Amino acid sequence: MSAFLLGCAAVLAVSLALGLVRLSRGPDVVDRLAAAQLVGTVGVAILLILAEVTGDASLRLVALLFALLGAVTVATFLRVTLVETGTASK
């Protein structure tokens, strides 16, 4: 079972690498935000898989922290974008 989970983590690591490429080369700010969300989500998935394989509960806490930071990142991005475009309600 752990070999299967490590294989899944390897596939997710490839997805993470592709997301990082998109993050650095994204043609638009919104594309970069989507890539950042992908990197965050895949990072959380990898941490959860590694927590299951190793039995280390602290990795689950780190994954939870990354998930919360991802949500805050999107909210902050939307707020800044709406203020810059002048469509934010006061």
Angle between the N-to-C axes of helices 57-85 and 29-54, in degrees from 0 to 180, rounded to the nearest 10: 170
- The domain spans of the chain are 2-85
| 49-69 pLDDT, tens digit each | 999 999 999 999 999 999 999
pLDDT at position 4 is 95
Q: Which residues in the chain show pLDDT less than 50? A: none
CATH classification of 2-85 is 1.10.3470, yes or no?
A: no
**Exposure on the CB side of residue 72, measured as CA atoms within 13 A:** 6
pTM for the model: 0.82
pLDDT at position 89 is 63
